[in-house]
A = this chain, B = another copy of it.
């Protein structure tokens, strides 16, 4: 078995590492010759639009997946002429464009912030007057880690946001005053077998995921989140891991976005769940029975952003594991993560405090 992975970043890297024990070889496809998955598996360096390179890649693999939703649909369609692609083109199409994603969620009657498409400054002014302030102007595509977003708090911000983002197709979204952000990681295999990880609580800093905690125990919310997930998975006839990010305003869950892939907020599952999200993604696309998604204990995931934390000090904290991605340090770049797993609540809280004290806020 050989799996092609579009993209060669840390998600591809952790997929490749999870694949070896299952007897699955991988090959990544990325335009960046330094893509960090290349340390652990083969990397083919080319653009997603390079059909000659794609053809050579497809000759090597028996099916294809991706670590990013920013795959040109033409690339996905080219792949599908010769090899299966999981998750599907439809999943890509819906999740790579915030506007389509919103239409999709609305069509399933799922709660998501109100929104309006924005193509001109006049449309932006009209949209602000319709949705009210504050509101968030976002690029429809390629947003990640808080990039491609502009918060409009006052009428003065309108033209500033337009100047900032106008070169791309935009969407204005109602601002949700949330209490916390949660995510649900799910997997579905080709047989339709579906599983759900516990809800994860996420903490962002400057738009970048800083840390996550699981499980977020709230029986009603868990059921609500799973109900929404089932609608999405069914509508897309989804195969693989799918992640849903929620705003939680203290009463209801509102879907922020959907990622058709393994997710940063699920990295704790490597040590903190009986089966990691990476292994379950692989099991799903090879139509193997899915593994238990139960949490082993309390898990805390801390991203190393811009710089790694010192390994010795981290591992001194009981229950911690260290994950380096092998990337060159750059400001605001995710270079690795630390996972803390403990079954003892008091020791867990204490360890979490020590770890979170290590980061500059």
Within 8 A of B (CB), among A240-292: 271, 274-275, 279, 283, 288-289, 291-292
Which residues does A use to contact B, with CB under 8 Å? Answer: 13, 17, 20-23, 25, 39-40, 271, 274-275, 279, 283, 288-289, 291-292, 296, 308, 311-312, 315-316, 318-324, 326, 336, 341
Report 13 cross-chain contacts, Cβ distance below 8 Å, ordered by A residue. Answer: A17-B20, A20-B39, A20-B40, A21-B322, A21-B324, A22-B311, A23-B311, A23-B336, A288-B311, A288-B312, A291-B320, A291-B321, A292-B319
Residues of the B chain whose Cβ atoms lie less than 8 Å from the Cβ of A22:
311, 322, 324
CB distance from A13 to the nearest CB of B (A): 8
Copy count, this protein chain: 2
Residues of B within 8 A of A275 (CB): 321
Whether A289 lies near B315 (C-beta < 8 A) is: yes
* Residues of chain B contacted by A39 (CB below 8 angstroms): 20, 25
> CA–CA, A271 to B326, complex, Å?
24
B23 and A324: CB pair below 8 A? Answer: yes
Closest 4 interchain pairs by CB? Answer: A23-B324, A289-B315, A21-B323, A289-B316
C-alpha gap A341/B322 in the complex (Å): 23
Bound: A49/B279 CA distance, A = 40
Q: Tell whether, in the assembled complex, residue B341 and residue A318 are in contact, meaning their CB atoms are under 8 Å apart.
A: no
Cα of A28 to Cα of B92 in the assembled complex, Å: 40
Most chain B beta-carbon neighbours within 10 Å: one of A21, A22, A40, A308: A21
**CA–CA, A308 and B1, complex, Å:** 15
Measured CB to CB, the closest approach of chain B to A188, in angstroms, equals 15
CB distance from A63 to the nearest CB of B (A): 16
**Nearest neighbor of A312 in chain B, beta-carbon distance:** B288
CA distance A322 to B296 in the complex (A): 19
- For A21, list chain B residues within 8 Å (CB): 17, 321-324
- Contact status B23-A326, CB under 8 Å: yes
Known: A288-B312, A312-B289. A319 touches B20 (CB 8 A): no
Which residues does chain B contribute within 8 Å of A271, judged by CB atoms? 274
Could you tell me the distance in whole angstroms from the C-beta of A157 to the nearest C-beta in chain B?
A: 42
Chain B residues lying within 8 Å of A25, measured Cβ to Cβ, are 39
CB distance from A254 to the nearest CB of B (A): 34
